Amino acid sequence: MKEHQNAASAHQGMNIIFFLGPPGSGKGTQARLLTKVCGASLLGMGDLLRQEVQEKTALGQKIKPVLEEGALPSWKHFVREVFEKQLDALKSSWVIFDGVPRTEEQMMDVESMIASRKARILSVFFLEVPDEILIHRLVGRYQCASCGASYMRNIEESDFQDVPCANCGSQKFSQRPDDQEEVIRKRLRLYNETMGPLVTHYQKKGLLKKVDGILPISEIQALIFNDLKEKSASFPSIS
């Protein structure tokens, strides 16, 4: 396989990696690890939307109540445009989509965005984790308020926020308002309903790589790296 050149036409040859998986499956963690290895840009739907909410943009004001209920904001009416703008701002030859596509509508839209920019989907990772484990994980999840890295609290631990963020050193943490059990169950139901057709679609295309999301983070990481190395000679070797 030939190396991709630093293409003058912005997105030609861009390798795009999808991470599918329910909330709490660890896809965000894996996506972040991958950015460090191959210098990929991360286009995270959750991050993107939370940022809009935090900055109180027009979009943010509209989607805040929707997110707090555990529902999905309308892609067609306002999210699509923000997503496409973010994609066009990226310069790197590796891009990870985390949390997009989530529905068939998004899948069609995102695929046409990719095709029209002459980029390609290299791999679609699907992290599988049983619902009960997800619920347990999500109830204990908290995040770094400054960089967004996620952490798990042990149920026995009461002072979970005393250790600084391993990623950026910040000592401010927050728990997402949508990480509460009832909301979590609703999100998982919604997720399971909408994800089936996407999994089938990428399976047929030969792009889907199912990963057991219960494995330790480093083992999942190794499976992902190996898959990408097989598919692209320009994927960096890890020492």
Of the pair 20, 165, the CB lying nearest Zn ion is at 165
- Least distance in angstroms from the C-beta of 170 to Zn ion: 5
Of the pair 7, 147, the CB lying nearest Zn ion is at 147
Of the pair 165, 208, the CB lying nearest Zn ion is at 165
- Least distance in angstroms from the C-beta of 50 to Zn ion: 14
Half-sphere exposure at residue 39, Cβ-oriented, CA atoms within 13 angstroms: 9
- Specify the pairing of strand 120-128 against strand 15-20: parallel
- Least distance in angstroms from the C-beta of 69 to Zn ion: 27
Of the pair 34, 122, the CB lying nearest Zn ion is at 34
- Least distance in angstroms from the C-beta of 167 to Zn ion: 4
Cβ burial of 51 (10 Å; 0-12, 13-18, 19+) is middle
Binding site for Zn ion (CB under 5 A): 144, 147, 149, 165, 167-168, 170
In the chain, DSSP assigns E strands to 15-20, 41-44, 94-98, 120-128, 141-144, 150-152, 173-174, 208-212
Of the pair 163, 168, the CB lying nearest Zn ion is at 168
Residue length of the chain? 239
Cross-strand partners of 19? 98, 125
- Least distance in angstroms from the C-beta of 6 to Zn ion: 31
- SS3 sequence of 185-203: HHHHHHHHHHHHHHHHHHH
